[in-house]
């Protein structure tokens, strides 16, 4: 009956192709299903012939059309389709059509996976059994069935079951009843163990420190994830230009698989120079030096000098790896900073001791900062010493570090000083910042950021400038100059505030993969007490995303006319 209903359509189609001069196989389904249509078309060998193909070749492949279409359909569980084929010539070319009524899909009645051997109690295989991609009631899909078998074998290799094999692989299909059963029995055999790690090449680290980085002990169960983590930890350590950790199964002794660790160390000394410009501080130059391994204990030294007209600073950081160098780091730092902006002057010497470690997804850093600073705003002087123990927390998550689609960054810090601990004033200070990015499909991105700061002290006038809050600038409230927002002296210069509140919303829209347009609104200020005089800036900008860094050019209009008609901001940096 299905064939008879197509007779009139076939006749019309035979007339229509007379004016067509291109070869092809047209697949028609009762309902639109692009995935099924692509599945059938990909299996049809006739569709790969050109218009000028020999007639006997076309006829031979045409006779296989129904069988090939049936194979394509059965792979997706359609075992009882109705298929009609037609072939027409216009004297110069051929056209074929496959008219398909798929029928009902075969459904899975039972899916059974049995793991024998040591893997039967392996948590990874237990999770696999609990989250099988095929469950009773699903449509039979031969591709997913093959993927399941491959996943079992891949997991066995990753977990060190190198002798694993299938004892049974059975797919039973009853097309008439419309059901199928899957039964898999896999014997993992014994699990291999890590053998000794055998370093090759020139390592600048002592063997015990190297072992703390890779954390692969002889006799532990073999695990591919641990191998990848070890490779990554050594590559990210900063000591090596090349790392390759490879298992030698061909040299296994019993269940012990030795590991060859090939290493090439980086140059010990590294120098870096830079020239740049930002609207906050104008042109600047920088010079940096790094000693990547001072000794075999992994100690290193970084030093940086940055010079610009309003701001010059020098910093040196001495770092030591912790007991778990992947997660722990100790650092001692010394910094010198001179700042001269309008009527404000600051000379700062800062020392710091920090211990940084990971706690889940958080980076946690207990710290002690030592400050010696002299600062002046107009005729107001602040000269003090501070010992500030504190705690810093940070967390960053993103789906793509180069061009974030969804991600955020959060940081918070609290510090405190007391006169009894050699500080010039009693102080408790907290500050936090957050930034989030969300992209709408393949369209634009919404970017929000905020910053808040609070100081608890009755001796604000004794606080030097580095312990006061300011707003305004490229990464604060655009439309205003760097540190141009906050409480002012009697002479009108910004002397900073006890508290800070800044927020920003921005929308970026892509012109192509690299160039984006932006619209933004910033608002905030530094202030004293509980009353804030909000200042805002509105504007537009251009973004050039280069993957490793983004260049940003903004034109912002301040809400306060006394700040000028507009201000141009230029910055460079990463998304988060």
Cα–Cα distance measured from residue 207 to residue 297, given in angstroms and rounded to the nearest whole number:
10
pLDDT tier at 259 (50, 70, 90 boundaries)?
A: very high
For the segment 238-263, the average pLDDT, to the nearest whole number, is: 96
pLDDT for res 548? 81
Whether the predicted pLDDT of 452 surpasses 60? yes
Whether the predicted pLDDT of 313 surpasses 90? yes
Cα–Cα distance measured from residue 56 to residue 273, given in angstroms and rounded to the nearest whole number:
72
pLDDT for res 185? 97
What would the pLDDT profile of 279-311 be if each residue is shown by its tens digit?
777 788 999 999 999 999 999 999 999 999 888
pLDDT for res 342? 80
pLDDT for res 21? 53
pLDDT for res 276? 80
Q: State the chain's mean pLDDT as an integer.
A: 92
Query: Which distant-in-sequence residues (6+ apart) come within 8 Å of 428 by Cβ?
Result: 414, 415, 416, 455, 456, 457
Cα–Cα distance measured from residue 358 to residue 399, given in angstroms and rounded to the nearest whole number:
20
Query: Which distant-in-sequence residues (6+ apart) come within 8 Å of 529 by Cβ?
Result: 498, 499
For the segment 24-34, the average pLDDT, to the nearest whole number, is: 90
Cα–Cα distance measured from residue 194 to residue 211, given in angstroms and rounded to the nearest whole number:
13
pLDDT for res 9? 40
For the segment 462-474, the average pLDDT, to the nearest whole number, is: 94
Task: Catalogue all structural domains in the chain, each as residue range(s) with its CATH number.
Answer: 4-101 (3.10.20.310), 107-187 (3.10.20.310), 193-265 (3.10.20.310), 269-573 (2.40.160.50)
Whether the predicted pLDDT of 47 surpasses 80? yes
Q: How many CB atoms lie within 10 A of CB 5?
A: 9
For the segment 256-282, the average pLDDT, to the nearest whole number, is: 90
Q: By the 8 A CB rule, do 330 and 319 touch?
A: yes
pLDDT for res 231? 96
pLDDT for res 328? 96
More confident residue, 336 or 548: 336
Of 107, 129, 110, nearest to 119 by C-alpha is 129
pLDDT tier at 461 (50, 70, 90 boundaries)?
A: confident
Instruction: Kindly state the tokens that stand for 384.
Output: 């003090």
DSSP letter for each residue of 559-570: SSGGG-S-EEEE
Q: By the 8 A CB rule, do 540 and 568 touch?
A: no
pLDDT tier at 65 (50, 70, 90 boundaries)?
A: very high
More confident residue, 354 or 35: 354
DSSP letter for each residue of 491-536: TS-B--BSEEEEEEEEEEEESSSSEEEEEEEEEEEEESTT----EE
Whether the predicted pLDDT of 16 surpasses 80? no
Instruction: Kindly state the tokens that stand for 210.
Output: 């190297």
What would the pLDDT profile of 215-246 be if each residue is shown by its tens digit?
999 999 999 999 999 999 999 999 999 999 99
Whether the predicted pLDDT of 278 surpasses 80? no
Cα–Cα distance measured from residue 66 to residue 84, given in angstroms and rounded to the nearest whole number:
7
Whether the predicted pLDDT of 10 surpasses 50? no
What would the pLDDT profile of 160-191 be if each residue is shown by its tens digit?
999 999 999 999 999 999 999 999 999 999 99
What would the pLDDT profile of 497-523 be if each residue is shown by its tens digit?
999 999 999 999 999 989 999 999 999
Instruction: Kindly state the tokens that stand for 374.
Output: 């002299």
Angle at 506 between CA 500 and CA 510, to 5 degrees: 155
Whether the predicted pLDDT of 8 surpasses 60? no
Q: By the 8 A CB rule, do 94 and 88 touch?
A: yes
For the segment 111-121, the average pLDDT, to the nearest whole number, is: 96
| Residue/partner pairs of 288-297 with CB below 8 Å, 24 or more apart | 292/204, 292/238, 292/239, 292/266, 292/267, 292/268, 293/204, 293/205, 293/239, 293/265, 293/268, 296/204, 296/205, 296/206, 296/209, 297/206, 297/209, 297/321
Whether the predicted pLDDT of 3 surpasses 80? no
| Residue/partner pairs of 534-540 with CB below 8 Å, 24 or more apart | 535/471, 535/472, 535/477, 535/480, 535/485, 535/559, 535/560, 535/563, 536/477, 536/479, 537/477, 537/478, 537/479, 537/480, 537/567, 538/479, 539/478, 539/479, 539/566
Cα–Cα distance measured from residue 243 to residue 232, given in angstroms and rounded to the nearest whole number:
9
pLDDT for res 193? 97
Pairing of strands 300-308, 282-291: antiparallel
pLDDT for res 80? 94
pLDDT for res 283? 87
- What's the whole-model pTM score? 0.80
Instruction: Kindly state the tokens that stand for 162.
Output: 């190198």
For the segment 263-276, the average pLDDT, to the nearest whole number, is: 93
Cα–Cα distance measured from residue 439 to residue 419, given in angstroms and rounded to the nearest whole number:
49
For the segment 406-423, the average pLDDT, to the nearest whole number, is: 95
What would the pLDDT profile of 524-567 be if each residue is shown by its tens digit?
999 998 899 999 999 999 999 998 889 999 999 999 999 999 99
Q: By the 8 A CB rule, do 346 and 338 touch?
A: yes
């Amino acid at each position: 009956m299905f064939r008879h209903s197509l007779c009139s359509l076939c006749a019309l189609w035979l007339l229509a192709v007379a004016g067509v001069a291109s070869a092809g196989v047209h697949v028609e389904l009762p309902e639109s299903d692009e995935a099924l249509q692509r599945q059938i078309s990909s299996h049809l060998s006739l569709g790969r012939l050109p218009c000028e193909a020999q007639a006997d070749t076309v006829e031979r492949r045409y006779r296989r059309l129904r069988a090939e279409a049936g194979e394509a359909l059965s792979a997706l569980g359609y075992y009882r389709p109705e298929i009609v084929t037609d072939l027409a010539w216009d004297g110069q070319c051929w056209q074929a059509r496959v008219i398909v009524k798929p029928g009902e899909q075969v459904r899975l009645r039972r899916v059974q996976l049995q793991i024998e051997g040591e893997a039967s109690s392996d948590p990874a295989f237990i999770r696999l059994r609990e989250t099988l991609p095929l469950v009773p009631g699903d449509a039979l899909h031969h591709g997913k069935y093959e993927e399941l078998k491959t996943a079992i074998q891949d997991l066995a290799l990753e977990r060190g079951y190198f002798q694993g094999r299938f004892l049974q692989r059975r797919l039973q299909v009853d097309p008439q009843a419309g059901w199928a059963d899957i039964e898999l029995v896999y014997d993992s055999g014994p699990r291999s163990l890590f053998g000794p790690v055998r370093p090759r090449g020139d390592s600048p680290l002592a063997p015990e420190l190297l072992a703390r980085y890779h954390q692969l002990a002889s006799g532990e169960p073999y695990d591919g994830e641990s191998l990848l983590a070890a490779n990554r930890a050594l590559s990210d350590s900063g000591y090596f230009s090349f790392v390759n950790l490879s298992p030698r199964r061909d040299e296994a002794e019993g269940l012990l698989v030795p590991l060859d660790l090939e290493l090439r160390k980086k140059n010990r000394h590294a120098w870096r120079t830079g020239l740049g410009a930002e609207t906050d501080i104008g042109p600047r130059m920088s010079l940096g030096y790094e000693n990547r391994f001072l000794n075999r204990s992994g100690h290193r030294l970084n030093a940086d000098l940055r010079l610009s007209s309003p701001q010059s600073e020098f910093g040196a950081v001495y770092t030591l790896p912790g007991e778990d160098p992947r997660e722990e780091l100790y650092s001692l730092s010394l910094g010198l900073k001179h700042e001269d902006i309008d009527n404000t002057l600051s000379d700062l010497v800062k020392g710091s001791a920090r211990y940084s470690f990971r706690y889940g997804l958080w980076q946690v850093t207990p710290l002690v900062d030592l400050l010696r600073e002299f600062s002046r705003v107009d005729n107001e002087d602040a000269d003090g010493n501070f010992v500030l123990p504190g705690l810093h927390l940070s967390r960053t998550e993103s789906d793509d570090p180069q061009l974030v689609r969804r991600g955020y960054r959060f940081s918070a810090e609290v510090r405190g000083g007391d006169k009894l601990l050699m500080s010039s004033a009693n102080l408790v200070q907290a500050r936090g910042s957050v930034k989030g990015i969300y992209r709408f499909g393949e369209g634009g991105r919404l970017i929000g950021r905020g910053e808040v700061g609070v100081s608890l002290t009755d001796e604000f006038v004794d606080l030097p400038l580095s312990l006061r809050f300011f707003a305004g600038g490229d990464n604060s409230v655009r439309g205003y100059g760097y540190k141009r927002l906050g409480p002012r002296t009697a002479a009108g210069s910004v002397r900073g505030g006890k508290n800070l509140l800044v927020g920003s919303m921005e929308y970026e829209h892509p012109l192509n993969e690299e160039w984006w347009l932006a619209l933004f609104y910033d608002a905030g200020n530094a202030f004293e007490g509980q009353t804030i005089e909000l200042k805002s800036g509105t504007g537009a900008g251009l973004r050039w995303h280069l993957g490793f860094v983004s260049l940003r050019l903004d034109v912002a209009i301040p809400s306060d006319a006394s700040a000028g008609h507009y201000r141009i901001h230029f910055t460079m940096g990463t998304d988060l």
